[in-house]
Every structure is written in structure tokens, then in C-alpha cells.
Structure 1
Amino acid sequence: MIPESSGGVVRRSEDVAFVESDERVALLDLAALQDPPVVLSGTAAHIWRLLDGSRTLDEVVAHLAVEYAVEPHVISPDVQRFVADLTRRGLVQAYDTNTPEGTSND
């Protein structure tokens, strides 16, 4: 589940190995080796790079909005859907920074 409030961050799962190039990011879920690798490019790869655990989803959207010169509300639904898909696949996890341990919201 992705965080609904600004108190949660989204970060890459510790079970995911990834290789980056200028244009793409290849992801492999080590906990689900039967699944094929996922290759992200363009904006998807850029979003992946922002999911380093230092930003909330709202901050990721705000960063992208500035970078692409659009209003946050225009891109927010697409970013949320993309991150929700990554979460469903186990590639990223949401963490609540308001809890002492920063526990996962899975």
C-alpha cells in the first residue's frame, strides 16, 4: 500500500537488485526469481531513482512537477498508479516515518 499522508516514504525493496544506465533501469526481485526482470525507461526510470527512501510520494510528485513544468495535480494520479503497481509487484515498499521503527505499511 502506498502512503496516503506526507508522513510516509516510498523506497525500493531490499529484495530488489537493479542495474542503472543513462536511459534505463533493470529490476530483479530476488524474492521472486520466477518473475521476469522489469525494465523501466524514461519517466518510469526517473521515478524509480527518486524512490530512494528520502522522499514522500507527495515530494516525488512535487519534484517531477517542477522538473517537467506541470502542476502536481496533473501528474499525481499517474505517479500514484505507477508506484502502486511497483508496490503490488513487491519492488517498492511504503514506510511510515511517524513510527519509531519506520515500519512498513505492507
Structure 2
Amino acid sequence: MKTKYLSSVLVIALCAGMSFGSFAQEKKKETVGETVDKTGKAIGKTATKVGNKTAEVTVKGGAKVVDQTYKGMMAPDGTNVYIDGKNRKYYINKKGAKIYLKASQIRKRP
């Protein structure tokens, strides 16, 4: 009697284990719409990064031609400081925007 009871418990445990194992191995397949959304977001992020870098390089190139570089000084983020025609000091951030500085924000280069 004990053997019969033990074997039936063992069979039930094996069946339960197989059913749980089959759930763990099931993979969720992406639909075409989800794949397109992920790709679209990735392209959008990359396009934003490229656009920001292009703007930064363009503005820095223009600043080197038109404005003076403040020698021996750096901005809070460690980049060059430029002086425009109105004697205002500024630096160019990662998005290509001119950020004007107060005198207290300009540091000497080490």
C-alpha cells in the first residue's frame, strides 16, 4: 500500500514539474507593430544624438572663426570659453547652444 501511494505521489509530482517547466520555456513573440515601435524609437534617439552633435560642431566652428577664444580659461564643464563682439563670455554645450557665463563661473585651466 505504501509503495502504491508513494508511486502515485511521485507521478503527480513529475507531472506538476513538467507543466511548470513548459511554462518557463515559453517565449513571447513580438508582433510586427512592437518591433516597428522599438526600431522607430531607436532611430529617433540616434537622430537626436546626431543632430545635437552636428549643431555643437557647427556652432563651435563658427565661434572659432567669428569670436575670440578666452586663453587659459575654461567653462564649468571644462570646454573652451569664447568672447563675442559685445565682450560677453560663453561656452557651447552638448546640444550646440551658447551658454553665457558670469565672471564667477569662469575657471583657470590647470
TM range (shorter): under 0.3
Higher relative contact order (CA 8 A, sep 6+): 1
Instruction: State the TM-score, normalizing by the size of structure 2.
Output: 0.24
Instruction: State the TM-score, normalizing by the size of structure 1.
Output: 0.25
Normalized per residue, the structure richer in helix is 2
Normalized per residue, the structure richer in strand is 1
